[in-house]
Chains A and B, each alone.
Chain A
Amino acid sequence: MKVLVPVKRVIDYNVKVRVKPDQTGVDLANVKMSMNPFDEISVEEAVRMKEAGTATEIVVVSIGPQQAQETLRTALAMGADRGILIKTDAMVEPLAVAKLLAKVVADEKPDLVLLGKQAIDDDSNQTGQMLAALLDWPQGTFAYKIEKDGDALKVTREVDGGLQTVKLQTPAVVTVDLRLNEPRYASLPNIMKAKKKEIAEKSPDDYGVDISPRLTVVKVTEPAARSGGVKVEDVAALVAKLKTAGAI
């Protein structure tokens, strides 16, 4: 099974984001960037599939600026075989990302596209589902467990209230949730080896996809601050406060 894993470069999840004073977005200057944590999980899952003998080749693809190459190198150091960088400095919305990925799928013909369920920057949670629709492939979103079942895939999904298992014909799109696995840290020898792995450079124009945005950002603001409350002395004082507030 050939696996395609799209990865996104985002603000590191430990960084406290700051909204720009001019309300045009969040401050990306001199901020640590990393691979989207959900994408690390999808890379890890693909590598485990390869180690288990179910995956034959892992191709990683990233759409973003030149520095997204570092994100691809991280994935290659984890165990992916080769990379594709679709280079653009523009902000690419999930719909356009899905269109570009559909073209990559047409070229690469993977049996499985494994994506993070959402990116932690725009929190859209759309790309995988959109890609599945554009390809007319089945989808298994929010995967908690992925098992090969003959030519099909059994995907156990995290849904409200519990877990749901679906069976997908391949080729298929699967998006991963937090508890599918714990991504590995790349070892130094593997980081060195990854430097020699191939990364093909492309542009959105190479695929003939119009990536112009459909949404205009009117403004980006800080969330309303919650006014700090009070500390209470003991349980009795807490109960009294809650009663006064009508909460109990």
Chain B
Amino acid sequence: MAVLVIAEHAHSALSDATHKVVTAASKFGGDVDVLVAGENAGAVAPAAAKISGVRKVLKAEGESLRKQTAEAMEALVVPMMANYDAVFIAATTTGKNIAPRIAAKLDVMQISEVVEIIDSSTFVRPIYAGNAIMTVKSSDAKKVLTVRGTAFPAAEEGGSASVEDVAAPSGNFKSEFVSEEMVKSDRPELAGAKRVVSGGRALGSSDKFKEVIFPLADKLGAAVGASRAAVDAGYAPNDYQVGQTGKIVAPELYIAIGISGAIQHLAGMKDSKIIVAINKDEEAPIFQVADYGLVADLFVAVPELTNAL
């Protein structure tokens, strides 16, 4: 048996999500190969070759693979699947964009956001925003999975896999990358951060969000998150959103500030190791999942906490 892992990377750097998907792939059984596709795949392939447990790295470099558009990735991966029993991709926006296209072309029912691999055909995944956990058995000959990174530890470094070239696809993919507008930040990336400080609607404004949340996050070296209510109110940018429809995080420390704890939000953070909640409403549902709850006015308590660290 063999599994193909599609690597996630940006700006010539391999994403940590890839290491987690390799761990998941190793539980499937058989050999694990990693596909690095992109216009600068050559810079990323050596990093993928160092992941422990990888048999070989397949490098597909070309202009058509710029930004890994789903149409070009489908053209690249579908023919390769003749040699594999499964393809695993991180359940990131990139992976979610690509995987179902590959599955449909292989006539396979994809299994999304897998959190546990029981055997080579049985998988566990959350449904209903994490309010139920479903175990499914696939009867398809090949498996297409997206893997929730927070559910698997990162594979260690220490491998020395060989790197092979694969031709990049050419053709009219009817889709082209135009531009991107990335939020620039010196803080760690939300999805993989070890510590997260999140703010909710109780912050009251974008200015207060920055004034209260950012100093604490910076003191802790934490990523900044937000509830959907805070994002919808315009206090924080879209990609800060933690929750079922936003980012799923599971840091070692999650501090929820002025967040009531709607089901959708809890679904995105309840697997965090330690949860702290600061909210003046002692009935807020967030306290039911918090290891340490502080009933207090956040505008007083959070600056005090920042100074105490």
Contacts and interface: CB of A to CB of B under 8 A. Distances in A.
Contact of B305 (A26, A229, A238): A238
B74 interface: yes
Contacts of A131: 104
A215 interface: yes
A166 interface: yes
B13 interface: no
A218 B122 CA distance: 9
A126 B138 CA distance: 16
A112 interface: no
A243 B289 CA distance: 20
B108 interface: yes
Given A160-B239, A236-B308, A125 B104 contact: no
B132 A222 contact: yes
Contacts of A157: 93
Nearest to B140: A214
Contacts, number: 243
Interface in A57-106: 93-95, 98
Given A16-B263, A125-B96, A247-B274, A165 B135 contact: no
B71 A229 contact: no
A126 B103 contact: yes
Nearest to B90: A160
A164 B177 contact: yes
Contacts of B275: 226, 229
A217 B189 CA distance: 35
Nearest to A241: B292
Contacts of A168: 174-175
Contacts of A139: 70-71, 97, 101, 175
Main secondary structure of the interface of A (DSSP, over half): mixed
Contacts of A172: 174
Contact of A218 (B111, B135, B182): B135
Interface residues of B, number: 89
Given A123-B113, A229-B292, A231-B287, A163 B181 contact: yes
A192 interface: no
B80 interface: no
A159 B10 CA distance: 12
Nearest to B181: A163
Given A26-B132, A164-B180, A159 B293 contact: no
Nearest to B144: A126
Interface string A222-243: 1100101111101110110110
A160 B68 CA distance: 14
A196 interface: no
B191 interface: yes
Contacts of B140: 214
Nearest to B272: A226
Given A130-B103, A160-B93, A223-B126, 10 more contacts: A17-B131, A26-B127, A26-B132, A126-B112, A130-B101, A159-B180, A161-B183, A165-B177, A223-B132, A242-B274
Interface of B: 10, 67, 69-71, 74, 92-94, 96-105, 107-113, 122, 126-140, 173-183, 189, 191, 220, 228, 231-232, 237-239, 244-245, 247, 252-253, 263, 270, 273-276, 282, 287-296, 301, 304-305, 308-309
12 contacts: A94-B100, A123-B113, A130-B101, A137-B174, A142-B93, A165-B180, A220-B127, A226-B289, A228-B289, A231-B282, A235-B294, A238-B292
